[in-house]
Amino acid sequence: MENIDLDLNTQSVREINQFFHNLNSSDKREFEILHPNGAHNIAVGLDAPITVHIRGHAGYFIAGMNKQAEITIHGNVGWSVGENMMSGVIRVNGFASECAGSSGHGGLLIIDGDASSRCGISMKGSSIVVGGNVGHMSAFMAQAGYLLICGDADHGLGDSLYEAIIYVRGKIHGLGTDAREEQMEEPDYNKVSELLDMAKFNYDPKEFKRVASAKTFYHWSPNSKQFSVL
Amino acid sequence: MCGIVGLFAKNSKMRASLGRYIAPMIVCMGDRGQDSAGLAVFSEQNSKNNRRINLFSHDNKFPWNLLSEKLSQELKCDLIAIDNHAVVITSIEPSHIIHWLSEHYSELFVLSIGQTIDVYKDAGHPMEIANKYRFNELKGTHCVGHTRMATESAVTPYHSHPFIAGEDLCLVHNGSLSNHHNLRRMLEKKGISFETDNDTEAVCRYLQWRLLEGDSIEDALQKTFEDVDGFYTLLIGTSNRIVLVRDAFACKPALIAETDDYVAIGSEFRTMAHLPEIQSAQLYEPKPEEIYLWKI
């Protein structure tokens, strides 16, 4: 497999992102991005089955809108890593700042360390696995998908949840409004096991708790007649 | 937005290079605020207990030489000037100098008073300001800087951060406060006066009021969490401390990098990417309503 180096000491973020956008989607190659030095918007809008390694700490909105690509950040990231991702896999070896994986429609975001506040805010079908703790208001208004937390969750977890499901291994320092802890059942254990396998974390699914919407705010049901007027 | 930077030197080698490391931090955070910038630098306490009075002149051609001569003759003070900025060094009570200046040079603005603090602030792009006042040559024990994207009040040198209150106390702020008019009215009733209509000045004077009432900096900040409403990351400098706090929502960023030689504080990692040994530094984000304090 051809390995291509891209260097942010000599190329701009725009040049590097444009290089990725110009790739033929059938190209299967591996890329290294050197000297990120906290720059924003690296590897945004990728849409090819390629592998990208970002070697160092990166800034805001890394790997946003990702489709297909497998992107690893060998360091920490700033706000909103993997924002609005559609598919593919993003892995952060360090910690992630606020709003990690916000509004993700699909794909998998793995954070080896801690994620800060509002992790998975408004997620819409993606999966997020956090190896450490998450900050306050995580999974706020999360509509669909899974947030799995191997450490603790700070206060306000799952505030105003819709259909997204949260699994927490550690301590929950406070649930958000309309979020509640529910009994783990067989499909939950299977889902936790699947997510842990994909993230390569070695925990027992029996250690996890399930948090979902209590549906006192939100009443949608596929059997309701609310759309009959249409 | 706005950008916040701070550097706390843990040894004499780092103190001698403080300016060399903080200047690129300010310039980088120009991306988060291009309206104005400022920097407070603290030096080691001088043995004579002299006071340093930092002055700003709006007039680019202000006759600092003339003022220097008059101060020397009438009040036995020294004056060092760069561009629109000057430092008066005095062994007499600063209030006498301030009174004399207000009578003879009322157009001058007092930036800071104290035994250890120097404050540089101006309107314009942070890169221009850093070059103009030669931030890269500064030395000191710790410093607190800011780049401003104005939201709450006008863009002038006086509305730039850091804000000061009393002696050897300064504060920079990223965010916006919603009850600063109430705070101001409450403090004005106690006889505390303000220099601008800026929201950050209100929290700076609030903090000084709590300290004068006898609170420790920790207690004063706990009261700040209760009484100050809005979004904030605050970085505070005193003669021997640098203190960082974020509000309960923590939606204004901050990152801390710590090594054996320094503690660096910035809104983003990229502002500290040039620092020595940064790749092996301990990096972490301050948690909401927790006090992070480093002391000489």
Which positions 145-184 of A are in contact with B (Cβ < 8 Å)? Answer: none
Structure tokens at A145: 């998908």
The mean pLDDT of A79-99, rounded to a whole number, is 98
The mean pLDDT of B66-83, rounded to a whole number, is 95
Domain B3-45+122-295 identical in fold to domain B46-115? no
Rounded distance, CA B80 to CA B52, Å? 10
Q: What is the pLDDT of residue B163?
A: 97
Q: What is the pLDDT of residue A178?
A: 96
Q: What percentage of residues in chain A have a pLDDT greater than 90?
A: 89
Q: Are A195 and A127 in contact (CB under 8 A)?
A: yes
* Helices B199-212, B217-227: inter-axial angle, 10-degree rounding: 130
- Residue A217's pLDDT band (boundaries 50, 70, 90)? confident
B184: CB partners within 8 A, 6+ apart: B194, B202
Contacts of A76 in chain B (CB under 8 A): 269, 283
Rounded distance, CA B296 to CA B294, Å? 7
- Residue A230's pLDDT band (boundaries 50, 70, 90)? very low
- Residue A229's pLDDT band (boundaries 50, 70, 90)? low
Question: Phi and psi of A145, rounded to 5°?
Answer: 110, -170
Question: Phi and psi of A179, rounded to 5°?
Answer: -105, 145
Q: What is the pLDDT of residue B49?
A: 81
Would the CA dihedral through B90, B96, B101, B106 be positive or negative? positive
- The architecture in CATH of the region B3-45+122-295 reads 4-Layer Sandwich (3.60)
Q: Are B48 and B89 in contact (CB under 8 A)?
A: no
Q: What is the pLDDT of residue B48?
A: 79
- Asked whether the beta carbons of residue A79 and residue B283 sit closer than 8 angstroms, the reply is no
| CATH number, domain B46-115 | 3.30.70
A13-27, A81-95, A170-184, B156-170: the lowest-pLDDT one: A13-27
Give the torsion through C-alpha atoms of B256, B226, A153, A175, to 10 deg.
-160
The mean pLDDT of A121-139, rounded to a whole number, is 98
Question: How many other C-beta atoms are found inside a 10 Å radius of the C-beta of residue A113?
Answer: 15
Q: Quick check: A117 contacting B, CB < 8 Å? A: yes
Domain positions in chain B: 3-45+122-295, 46-115
Positions of B marked active-site: 2
Residue A224 has pLDDT above 60, yes or no: yes
pLDDT tens digits, B248-287: 999 999 999 999 999 999 999 999 999 999 999 999 999 9
Q: What is the pLDDT of residue A219?
A: 78
Q: Which amino acid is at B232?
A: Y
The mean pLDDT of B48-73, rounded to a whole number, is 94
Q: Cα separations (Å) of B88 from A146, A192, B82?
A: 62, 67, 12
